[in-house]
């Protein structure tokens, strides 16, 4: 029997349940889980803040495991086109079932908006099997995008960056940072920290992180942020003044929002210079509205605002490559504050929700 941590409904405690070992279909893979991340999305799932979630679910959408079994017939190919092998350490894109045929997949070139996509740990039900990472084994159905981890990339480091890394990589790509740019990152959670690191790799001249609490700001400085500003002890006017002081009165060339707080968006528009660029990636759940002045904050400002939703196999693939190449430069594993077994998954969720830890891992 296989154990898994199951979220039965919003506002109900995590339960330990047992599952039969699945019979694999051709093209499928059974992963023996090494670890799975706990992220802010899981706390939103626990509060019922995402729509279309088929509870009960096994949470855990970014995971690493060892290939334990391959379904009958030819082994599936990894993203590089090589057949996967038993014993390989791999991660996978949590998004499954992107159709490749709909308007968004073909004409719009925006696969993250494909209406058929399902996400491991979020929009796949535990009633349908081991389709989330908080389990001893994960059933990778035929067609899941598999990315092997290079030998020099510690799986804990990969999970410490977690889903924040491909998300930030997508946002930083959209931000089109130029050499020497001043980049403001709003938010010092996993997405913000990864964005701060990636901004440096894209040639930013200065990286400023606005957020909190202090444990996260300290992590941002460890990851190379030049300046951190504590959101709790400053007013919006003070933050605006601080950014203008650092940029010759203009504001940031690029601002990346990674907070999840609606009020951060109009503030981010104002922190950005005229004709600068603003990428919004942190508003993943609906936590309300914010108002801005269309004349002052957008039109006359000639501001380029971009929304960024989800990530695709390319973002995960590039994350693995970047983390492998720059593993020494950014101390990802230091972000892991705690590891929990399946029986303590609820404690992991509570600690992440209360921001007592920067990054928590489930290690079955």
Q: Which of 7, 105, 204, 243 binds Zn ion (CB under 5 A)?
A: 105
Whether the Cβ atoms of residue 182 and residue 246 lie closer than 8 Å to each other: yes
Q: How far is the CB of 243 from Zn ion (least distance, A)?
A: 28
Q: How far is the CB of 185 from Zn ion (least distance, A)?
A: 18
Q: How far is the CB of 93 from Zn ion (least distance, A)?
A: 12
Q: How far is the CB of 61 from Zn ion (least distance, A)?
A: 5
Q: How far is the CB of 160 from Zn ion (least distance, A)?
A: 13
Tell me the window of 11-19, 70-78, 101-109, 118-126 that interacts with Zn ion (CB under 5 A). 101-109
Pair type for strands 95-96 and 118-119: antiparallel
171 binds Zn ion per the rule CB under 5 A = no
39 binds Zn ion per the rule CB under 5 A = yes
**Sheet strands side by side (includes 206-211):** 227-230, 206-211, 182-186, 252-257, 272-280, 304-307
53 binds Zn ion per the rule CB under 5 A = no
Angstrom distances, CA of residue 57 to CA of 7, 49, 117, 144, 304: 5, 14, 16, 18, 38
Q: How many residues bind Zn ion (CB under 5 A)?
A: 7
Q: Which of 16, 102, 347, 353 binds Zn ion (CB under 5 A)?
A: 102
Residue 353: exposed, middle, or buried by beta-carbon count in 10 A (0-12, 13-18, 19+)? middle
41 binds Zn ion per the rule CB under 5 A = yes
Q: Give the DSSP letter of residue 7.
A: B
Closer residue to Zn ion, CB minimum distance, 39 or 269: 39
Closer residue to Zn ion, CB minimum distance, 164 or 364: 164
In DSSP notation, 85-100 reads -TT-EEEE-SEE---S
Q: How far is the CB of 121 from Zn ion (least distance, A)?
A: 8
Residue 43 in 3-state DSSP?
A: helix
- The pair of three-digit structure tokens given for residue 119, joined into one six-digit string: 């996400």
Tell me the window of 23-31, 47-55, 151-159, 161-169 that interacts with Zn ion (CB under 5 A). 161-169
Tell me the window of 13-21, 77-85, 108-116, 178-186 that interacts with Zn ion (CB under 5 A). 108-116
Q: How far is the CB of 114 from Zn ion (least distance, A)?
A: 3
- The pair of three-digit structure tokens given for residue 231, joined into one six-digit string: 């959101």
99 binds Zn ion per the rule CB under 5 A = yes
Pair type for strands 359-362 and 336-340: parallel
215 binds Zn ion per the rule CB under 5 A = no
Q: Give the DSSP letter of residue 299.
A: I
Q: How many helices (H) and strands (E) does the chain have?
A: 10, 17
Task: Look up tokens 């296989």; give the residue.
Answer: 2
Rg of the chain, C-alpha, whole Å? 20
Tell me the window of 92-100, 129-137, 297-305, 340-348 that interacts with Zn ion (CB under 5 A). 92-100
Closer residue to Zn ion, CB minimum distance, 105 or 269: 105
Whether the Cβ atoms of residue 223 and residue 196 lie closer than 8 Å to each other: yes
Closer residue to Zn ion, CB minimum distance, 120 or 330: 120
Tell me the window of 106-114, 194-202, 204-212, 343-351 that interacts with Zn ion (CB under 5 A). 106-114
Q: How far is the CB of 42 from Zn ion (least distance, A)?
A: 7
Q: Which of 114, 177, 199, 271 binds Zn ion (CB under 5 A)?
A: 114
Q: What are phi and psi of 5, to 5 degrees?
A: -90, 125
Q: Which of 163, 175, 231, 352 binds Zn ion (CB under 5 A)?
A: 163
Whether the Cβ atoms of residue 10 and residue 46 lie closer than 8 Å to each other: yes
State the alpha helices, DSSP H only, in 47-151. 103-106
Residue 296: exposed, middle, or buried by beta-carbon count in 10 A (0-12, 13-18, 19+)? exposed
122 binds Zn ion per the rule CB under 5 A = no
Interface residues with Zn ion (CB under 5 A) are: 39, 41, 99, 102, 105, 114, 163
């Amino acid at each position: 029997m296989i154990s898994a941590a199951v979220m039965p409904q919003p506002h109900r405690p995590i339960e330990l349940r047992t599952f039969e070992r699945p019979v694999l279909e051709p093209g499928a893979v059974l992963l023996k889980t090494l670890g799975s991340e706990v992220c802010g999305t899981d706390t939103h799932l626990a509060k019922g803040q995402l729509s279309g979630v088929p509870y009960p679910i096994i949470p855990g959408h970014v995971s690493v495991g060892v290939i334990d079994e391959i379904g009958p017939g030819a082994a599936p190919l990894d993203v590089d086109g090589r057949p996967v092998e038993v014993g390989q350490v791999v991660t996978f894109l949590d998004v499954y079932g992107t159709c490749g045929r709909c308007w968004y997949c073909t004409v719009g070139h925006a696969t993250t908006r494909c209406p058929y996509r399902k996400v491991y740990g979020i929009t796949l039900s535990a009633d349908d099997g081991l389709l989330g990472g908080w389990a001893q084994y994960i059933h990778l159905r035929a067609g899941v995008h598999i990315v092997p981890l290079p030998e020099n990339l510690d799986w804990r480091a990969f999970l410490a960056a977690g889903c924040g890394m491909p998300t930030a990589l997508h946002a930083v790509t959209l931000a089109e940072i130029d050499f020497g740019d001043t980049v403001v990152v709003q938010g010092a959670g996993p997405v913000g920290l990864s964005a701060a690191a990636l901004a440096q790799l894209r040639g930013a001249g200065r990286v400023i992180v606005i957020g909190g609490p202090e444990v996260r700001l300290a992590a941002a400085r460890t990851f190379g942020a030049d300046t951190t500003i504590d959101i709790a002890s400053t007013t919006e006017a003070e933050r605006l003044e601080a950014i203008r002081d650092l940029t010759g009165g203009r504001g940031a060339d690029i601002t990346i929002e990674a907070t999840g707080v609606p009020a951060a968006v109009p503030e981010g528009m104002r922190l950005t210079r005229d004709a600068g660029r603003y990428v919004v990636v942190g508003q993943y759940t609906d936590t309300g509205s914010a108002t801005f002045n269309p004349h002052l904050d957008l039109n006359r400002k000639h501001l380029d605002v971009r929304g960024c939703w989800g990530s695709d196999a390319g973002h995960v693939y590039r994350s693995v490559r970047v983390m492998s190449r720059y593993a020494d430069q950014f101390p990802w594993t230091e972000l892991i504050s705690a590891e929990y077994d399946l029986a303590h998954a609820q404690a992991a969720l509570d600690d992440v929700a209360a921001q007592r830890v920067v990054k928590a891992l489930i290690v079955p």
